[in-house]
Structure 1
């Protein structure tokens, strides 16, 4: 009697499906972590540029300019004169938590280009926690992650 063995057995099929589902689950979580890191890198690049812009405004313009965080609306903005004229607004993802650890908000630069109230800020994303340090006597903030 001849046996025709052209099909896979149920056990072979279940093993192949379980291996492929494990590979998909691992690659999906890796992709989410990578996307989270890329989002932060884009944010911090823009944030550094905005701080440099704020510093240039403090050096070259009359009046005070401030960077305000509106954490309940997941955004920050640069304004002239406290709650005066809004120059621009930047948003960040809804699931991020921005906490000014020792950094006193709003961020403001002196007419010499130094940050007035230095400190650290913490940004919590889904998978990471990042720290931004704004040291005394410096005109820039640094990513400590």
Structure 2
């Protein structure tokens, strides 16, 4: 009597299962990339708003004017010609400050001296960060 010892999957069955997994994965990648870009944008704006609060607190502590200077590739927080903090923008992001502002100045009370907005262009969306007059930190509008 010959016993059949089929204790596994055939090569065809494994290839079919692998093909299904590859198909499912390849269909989900665009959604993951979109979510990743949204998380990156939220993280950057949270950091920028924290840095604005940091600049305000430095201005109130030192009683000097503090500037958040925007350049094409990064922003810098400066107090009396001393760079306190510098951060690069994410890749493929552009900051258009030509119409309203390229420096955010804080007085000794932490107030924004020159209100305005910054146009921020990402590969997926456009944002505008508004800095109102007074002690507000600014907010982001899509």
TM-score range, shorter chain: 0.7 to 0.9
How many pairs are equivalent? 129
* TM-superposed deviation, 1:140: 1.1
| Aligned residue in 2 for 1:4 | none
| Aligned residue in 1 for 2:126 | 129
Return the alpha-carbon distance in structure 2 between the equivalents of residues 58 and 102 of structure 1. 26
Return the alpha-carbon distance in structure 2 between the equivalents of residues 42 and 36 of structure 1. 10
* TM-superposed deviation, 1:138: 3.7
After superposition, residues 1-145 of structure 1 pair within 5 angstroms as 24=25, 26-71=27-72, 74-81=73-80, 84-100=81-97, 102-145=99-142
Indicate the SS of the match to 2:67: strand
* TM-superposed deviation, 1:64: 2.2
Per-residue CA deviation, residues 31-82 of structure 1 (Å, 9 max, x unaligned), is 22111111111111111111011111111213321111221xx21111112x
List structure 1 runs of 4+ shifted beyond 6 angstroms.
none
If the length of structure 1 is used for normalisation, what is the TM-score?
0.74
The runs of 5 or more residues in structure 2 that have no matched partner are 1-11
